[in-house]
């Protein structure tokens, strides 16, 4: 295996403040406040028939957790130009709703048809949740004007809160989108397309990793008219692995159906062991990936215990029959046999996810606020084992949090 022709690029970095409209919680008067909404993260990428790349991300944010996230779509027709067109799909700031749209997944169905996923937090997480979350975003937003946090909380008191996971679709290459449809599960990279044309959405549901299947309806011109979702199918339950001293958390899975028909699901795993996140026999480095597979269309699952791979959350891509690329991020978690390092890494399997080669770096980051890489196969050289790939991800450079990509070739 050989990595060649590595080129890094920038999708979005924000350095200028924008005026955000607020309404004073005491007087009801409207005012504007300038904020540096320079946090953009958790991307997913797809490619259309022309070679254009589409990246969905949660953008225009103040911080890792705050009420400003907007679902945005970035489009690049030619990476050689480095030019990206930005479209806001779900507004939060402009319409004054202050709804945090997070973890945007994206799936391309062909001929301009796309499926987009995201989830939103209940407002309680910002007001009654972890103290550091409330203090963190409140302090930052009030640096511009001490009225801002109270103004946001007042909005939440006066409107219904649309908490949950959502799916939308587009028939025109992401220019317009359907009204968000609520679904039960959530995962950062969205559903997979199965060989029979149905969707398979593996995600978190409580302590479990479950899946929902969906049938897509089309009109006579091939446009999507609706998506009908089925009930829940269990894959794995974290409660089966918890002990009195160690809590195991399963979340943020990604699924793919291989050419063989096998369903492959990779899952983010982290723990709390004796009060903190750390390496254990169950959770390698305290932040790792478990892989499981099903050869009977999801009726039964086999968890591959030896594939507790460092880093998370995972994204899966089959390059050719049974050859699978998994990308994930390491955030400085260590183990006795594993160094502390931050950045985006790749793992390769030659046997349909049964075993994995040693990880290789795609991009080394400056700190642990990074990751969620997703990779698209741009092209394969005719008659050669060379794959042209593009991986999108986010990294924090200590001043802003940016959307980035790495263009690279993989020779097998």
Residues 18-36, mean pLDDT to the nearest whole number: 93
Using CA atoms, how far residue 48 sits from 8, 75, 84, 167, in Å, is 21, 11, 15, 20
CA 323 to chain CA mean position, Å: 22
pTM of the model: 0.95
pLDDT exceeds cutoff 90 at 157? no
Q: What is the pLDDT of residue 155?
A: 84
Q: What is the Cα–Cα distance from 46 to 354, expressed in whole angstroms? A: 26
Is the pLDDT score of 129 beyond 60? Answer: no
pLDDT of residue 83: 95
- The rounded distance, in Å, linking the Cα atoms of 115 and 102 is 15
Contact yes or no for 325/310 (Cβ under 8 A)? no
What pLDDT score does 134 carry? 64
Radius of gyration of the chain (CA): 21
98 pLDDT above the threshold of 90: no
Q: Over 70: is that where the pLDDT of 248 sits?
A: yes
Break the chain down into helix, strand, coil percent, rounded to 5.
10, 55, 40
Backbone phi, then psi, for 155, in 5-degree steps? -60, -45
Parts of the chain belonging to CATH 2.120.10.10: 191-364
Q: What's the pLDDT score for residue 97?
A: 76
What number is the average pLDDT over the span 260-285?
92
Query: Would you give the end-to-end CA distance of the chain in angstroms?
Result: 5
Structural contact between residues 90 and 72, judged by C-beta atoms closer than 8 angstroms: no
Give residue 274's pLDDT.
Answer: 83
pLDDT digits (tens, 9 = 90+) for 37-78: 999 999 999 999 999 999 999 999 998 888 889 999 999 999
What is the arithmetic mean of pLDDT over 74-90? 94
Q: Which of 314, 319, 326 is nearest to 387 (CA)?
A: 319
Which pLDDT value is given to residue 65? 84
Going by C-alpha positions, the residue among 31, 43, 28, 101 that lies closest to residue 402 is: 43
Structural tokens at position 128? 């009654």
Stretch 212-236: mean pLDDT = 97
Nearest CA to 59 out of 44, 49, 46, 48 is that of 44
The predicted structure's pLDDT at residue 132:
62
Pick the CATH number of 191-364 from 1.10.340.70, 3.50.50.60, 2.120.10.10, 3.40.50.10490: 2.120.10.10
CB of 41 within 8 A of CB of 58? yes
Work out the mean pLDDT of the chain and round it to a whole number. 92
């Amino acid at each position: 295996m050989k990595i060649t022709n590595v080129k890094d690029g920038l999708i979005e970095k924000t350095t200028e403040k924008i005026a955000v409209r607020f309404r004073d919680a005491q007087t009801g008067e409207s005012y504007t406040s300038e904020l540096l909404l320079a946090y953009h993260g958790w991307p997913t990428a797809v490619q259309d028939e022309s070679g254009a790349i589409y990246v969905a991300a949660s953008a225009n944010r103040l911080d890792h957790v705050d009420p400003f996230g907007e679902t945005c779509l970035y489009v690049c027709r030619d990476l050689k130009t480095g030019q990206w067109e930005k479209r806001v799909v779900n507004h939060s700031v402009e319409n004054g709703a202050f709804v945090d749209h997070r973890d945007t997944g994206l799936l391309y169905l062909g001929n301009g048809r796309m499926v987009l996923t995201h989830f939103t937090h209940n407002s309680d997480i910002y007001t009654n949740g972890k103290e550091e979350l409330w203090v963190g975003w409140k302090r930052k937003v009030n640096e511009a004007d001490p009225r801002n946090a109270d103004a946001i909380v007042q909005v939440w008191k006066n409107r219904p809160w649309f908490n949950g996971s959502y799916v939308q679709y587009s028939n025109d290459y992401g220019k317009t989108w359907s009204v968000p449809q609520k679904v039960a599960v959530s995962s950062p990279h969205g559903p997979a397309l199965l060989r029979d044309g149905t969707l398979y959405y593996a995600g978190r549901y409580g302590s479990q990793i479950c899946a929902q299947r969906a049938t897509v309806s089309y009109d006579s011109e091939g446009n999507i008219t609706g998506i009908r979702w089925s009930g829940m199918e269990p894959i794995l339950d974290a409660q089966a692995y918890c002990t009195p001293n160690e809590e195991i958390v399963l979340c943020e899975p990604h699924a793919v159906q291989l050419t063989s028909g096998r369903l492959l699901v990779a899952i983010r795993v982290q723990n709390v062991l004796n009060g903190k996140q750390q390496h254990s026999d169950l959770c390698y480095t305290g932040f790792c990936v478990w892989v499981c597979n099903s050869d009977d269309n999801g009726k039964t699952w086999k968890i591959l215990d030896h594939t507790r791979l460092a880093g998370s959350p995972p994204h899966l891509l089959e390059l050719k029959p049974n050859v699978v690329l998994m990308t994930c991020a390491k955030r400085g978690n260590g183990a006795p046999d594993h160094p502390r390092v931050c950045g985006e890494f790749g793992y390769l399997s030659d046997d349909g996810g049964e075993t994995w080669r040693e990880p290789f770096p795609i991009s080394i980051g400056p700190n642990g606020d990074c990751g969620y890489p997703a990779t698209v196969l741009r092209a394969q050289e005719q008659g050669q084992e060379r794959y042209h790939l593009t991986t999108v991800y986010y990294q924090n450079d200590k001043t802003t949090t940016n959307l980035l990509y790495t263009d690279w070739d993989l020779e097998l």
